[in-house]
């Protein structure tokens, strides 16, 4: 049993108040372990979205948020950061209950990374050129970076708190206000965040939270009161959002799906490699868009690599995610398990060699899938091309380095990747040639100051660092005299 209660909620957080929703419909939160309803929250309506956007607009225009100093806005986020730390165990348990992440990973990742994200954005904001002077032969300008307006932040279910902070931090630091739309699968942690925002002294209307279904979410995204949309989720949903935003030339940042390749070079330390893949390929039960699910290995090392990979997976306990020993828990929903099992069937039908897994573990209830490894996978096979979003990896053999790079780049995605080698110069060159937004060398993280985002179907724009602040500001140039430029410099 958990120490913290998982509660139902009857109201929405809009304009700094807990308000009665306009409709009567409810969103059911179903435990991926017990398959039972554990809580319900209101399903937001169009009227609720209108009210939230109006509150956000008022907070920008009539209230002091946008005109506050950067230092004052940072102070609010620093108080929120400290409250996230204080309530980390509550948040970890809520996330584990609502989406099934093993509690050990919720404690180490789901509630730690949001704090790191806040810290990273605050650090980046202190160095960001919100105001600068530009001089040229033909004139001088005061260049301002002003808040773009009201932001719609659409958050997925797999790492909900991290992605909430990923959208909230740059919006608030630039002086924008925001309407957050949590996923119907995982709305409960957003209610904790709302409570902590109140305690942190966030002014009314700066952050508004409205859980909603797809139809109302599209209404939010296309609303004329929204200046910018920031979305994380599937590539299919991202294309739809881009279409909606394109009609009104609305700014949009999209961090979408991935089918990331880990290129194992012949000189790689295989023990280090497979240990890095413990979390690099299987964390959060395989439900992370940056996971390395295409393992590209030298053909003559494939059997040895698989033996070591199998040995590592043997140490990963499958079971109740509330147990601290569990490393592989259930998938978020029955629908997600059905989709993953469909991909496993496709892998078998298309000739992949099933090394392990492929079924359901011996548990009484829950939406579990065994960690699954396919070998001798053709690089064009369905399981090598489609994002599965479950604990399933494909081992793809290669003959030489050029073929390895071609396999890595043979994807409609380009979000993340990895290179494993003891030759650092060679590894950096292979990383440079990979068509992806981020590459991790020997398991090293890029951190929260480096720009993160994808190419191809993996998205538009970047998050983190100054590049993650850019999409939330509007540039304005004011022509000024040389004397004024000198006085402002």
User: Annotated active-site positions, please?
Assistant: 255, 289
What residues have CB less than 8 Å from 159, skipping those under 6 apart?
109, 110, 113, 284, 288
Closest by alpha carbon to 15, among 212, 173, 201, 209?
A: 209
Quick check: 392 and 375 in contact, CB under 8 A?
no
**Residue in the structure block whose two tokens are 């040639």:** 433
Quick check: 285 and 389 in contact, CB under 8 A?
no
| Helix then strand then coil, % of the chain, to nearest 5 | 40, 20, 35
The rounded distance, in Å, linking the Cα atoms of 479 and 468 is 27
The rounded distance, in Å, linking the Cα atoms of 31 and 482 is 65
Burial class (CB in 10 A: 0-12, 13-18, 19+), 168: buried
The rounded distance, in Å, linking the Cα atoms of 362 and 263 is 33
28, β-bridge pairs: 40
CB atoms within 10 A of CB 371: 25
Which tokens go with 2?
């958990």
**Angle, to 10 degrees, between the axis of helix 214-221 and the axis of helix 235-247?**
40
The rounded distance, in Å, linking the Cα atoms of 373 and 360 is 14
Which tokens go with 392?
């399933």
Q: Cα dist. 131→211, 398, 485 in Å?
A: 36, 51, 12
Please give the distance of CA 247 from its chain centroid, rounded to a whole number.
Answer: 25
CB atoms within 10 A of CB 4: 14
Please give the distance of CA 335 from its chain centroid, rounded to a whole number.
Answer: 20
**Residue in the structure block whose two tokens are 């937001």:** 44
User: Which pairing describes strands 260-264 and 372-375: parallel, antiparallel, or unpaired?
Assistant: unpaired
């Amino acid at each position: 049993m958990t120490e913290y209660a998982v509660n139902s909620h009857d109201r929405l957080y809009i304009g700094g108040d807990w308000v009665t929703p306009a409709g009567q419909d409810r969103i059911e939160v179903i435990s991926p372990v017990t398959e039972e309803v554990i809580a319900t929250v209101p399903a937001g309506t169009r009227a609720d979205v209108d009210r939230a956007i109006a509150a956000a607009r008022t907070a920008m225009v009539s209230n002091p948020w946008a005109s506050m100093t950067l230092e004052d806005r940072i102070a609010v986020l620093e108080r929120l950061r400290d409250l996230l730390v204080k309530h980390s165990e509550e948040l970890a348990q809520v996330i584990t209950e609502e989406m099934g992440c093993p509690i050990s990973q919720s404690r180490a990742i789901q509630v730690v990374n949001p704090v790191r994200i806040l810290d990273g954005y605050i650090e980046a904001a202190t160095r960001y050129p919100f105001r600068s002077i530009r001089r040229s032969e033909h004139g001088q300008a005061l260049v301002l970076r002003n808040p773009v307006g009201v932001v719609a932040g659409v958050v997925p279910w797999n790492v909900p708190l991290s992605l909430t902070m990923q959208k909230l931090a740059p919006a608030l630091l630039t002086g924008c206000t925001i309407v957050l739309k949590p996923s119907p699968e995982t709305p409960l942690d957003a209610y904790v965040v709302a409570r902590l925002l109140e305690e942190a002294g966030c002014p009314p209307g700066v952050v508004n939270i409205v859980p909603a279904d797809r139809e109302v979410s599209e209404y939010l995204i296309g609303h004329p009161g929204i200046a910018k949309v920031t979305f994380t989720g599937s590539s299919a949903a991202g294309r739809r959002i881009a279409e909606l935003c394109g009609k009104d030339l609305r700014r949009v940042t999209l961090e979408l799906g991935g089918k990331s390749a880990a290129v194992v070079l012949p000189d790689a330390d295989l023990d280090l490699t497979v240990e890095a893949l413990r979390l690099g390929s299987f964390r959060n039960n395989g439900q992370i868009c940056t996971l390395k699910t295409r393992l590209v290995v030298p053909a003559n090392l494939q059997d040895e690599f698989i033996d070591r990979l199998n040995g590592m997976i043997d140490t990963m306990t499958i079971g109740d995610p509330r147990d601290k020993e569990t490393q592989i828990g259930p998938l978020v929903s029955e629908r997600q398990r059905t989709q993953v099992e469909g991909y496993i069937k496709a892998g078998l039908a298309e000739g992949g060699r099933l090394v392990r897994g492929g079924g359901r573990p011996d548990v009484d209830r829950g939406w579990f899938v065994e960690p699954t490894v396919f070998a001798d996978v053709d690089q064009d096979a369905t399981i090598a091309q489609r994002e599965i979003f479950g604990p399933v990896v494909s081992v793809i053999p290669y003959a030489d380095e050029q073929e390895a790079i071609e396999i890595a780049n043979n994807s409609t995605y380009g979000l993340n990747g990895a290179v494993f080698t003891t030759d650092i110069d060679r590894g950096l060159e292979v990383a440079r040639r990979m068509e992806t937004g981020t590459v991790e060398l020997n398991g090293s993280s890029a951190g929260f100051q480096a720009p993160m985002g994808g190419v191809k179907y993996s998205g538009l724009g970047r998050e983190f660092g100054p590049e993650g602040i850019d999409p939330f500001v509007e540039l304005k140039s004011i022509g000024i005299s040389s004397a004024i430029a000198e006085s402002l410099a």
